[in-house]
Amino acid sequence: MTLAARCFALVPCAGTGQRAGTAGPKQYAPLAGRAVVAHTLAVLAAVARIETTLVVLSEDDRDFERQVPGFAGWAVRCGGATRAATVGNGLAVLRERGVGDEDWVLVHDAARCLLRPAWVERLIDACSTDAVGGLLALPVADTLKQEVAGRAAATVPRSGKWAAQTPQMFRLGLLARALREAANDVTDEAGAVEALGLAPLLVAGEFENFKLTWPGDFALAARLMETR
């Protein structure tokens, strides 16, 4: 059953990206000639094992079709107030369109536009026979500090710490249940699955697969794209 399962991508694209300092939603900010999310979706479209990609937009989104002309996947306007709600709504749409509980869903951030197809393939290879699923992640290399009132109050041991990335790959049925039962402050899909008492697989990611969050991230992403 696991080997016969199909793979679908789900991209939550309903946020505003207020920390990015862009004029509008950061996923539509221009980068190397097109919108950030257009780069992201082009990479997912290049992964042969992904059947199709569902993009979950906010209900009042009026930019997507203009920013990503010719998108061949599915775009729906049912974004929620939180990431978990947006992904949960997207899973419901996938179910309505015939995706089964045993099929895999790869949830990927719209703002991780430096993703490469080979990294997605690496995740699929690692997780396709796993009982839980997993995510791309990087072992933390920097010294970690606990902040109190703007000052370093303690050094946090970095041993065994990983920085989560996306895609995060789980079966639709498991992920839908995890998100239904998750606390409101869950920030990624793996966190919701962990709350069920399960341990997602950590699959080595790449530094370039960072999420565009701060104003300086856009300049770095542009430089990296120029050197590819």
Domain boundaries, the chain: 7-226
| Closest C-alpha to 109, from 218, 215, 210 | 210
> CB under 8 Å to 157, separation ≥6 — which residues?
144
Burial 138-163, CB ≥16 within 10 A → b, else e: beeeeeeeeeeeeeeeeeeeeeeeee
37-66, pLDDT tens digit by residue?
A: 999 999 999 999 999 999 999 999 999 999
Share of residues in the chain with pLDDT > 70 (%): 95
120-148, pLDDT tens digit by residue?
A: 999 999 999 999 999 999 999 999 999 99
| Closest C-alpha to 188, from 161, 171, 159, 168 | 168
Q: Alpha carbon of 184 to those of 83, 124, 178: distances in Å?
A: 10, 28, 12
Give me the mean pLDDT over the 209-218 stretch. 94
pLDDT of amino acid 184: 79
What is the distance between the alpha carbons of residues 137 and 24, in angstroms, rounded to a whole number? 28
Torsion of CA 140, 141, 146, 150, to 10 degrees: -120
CATH topology of domain 7-226: Spore Coat Polysaccharide Biosynthesis Protein SpsA; Chain A (3.90.550)
pLDDT of amino acid 20: 46
Inform me whether the pLDDT recorded for 214 exceeds 50.
Answer: yes
180-208, pLDDT tens digit by residue?
A: 999 878 999 999 999 999 999 999 999 99
Residue 102 · residue 201 · CB < 8 Å: no
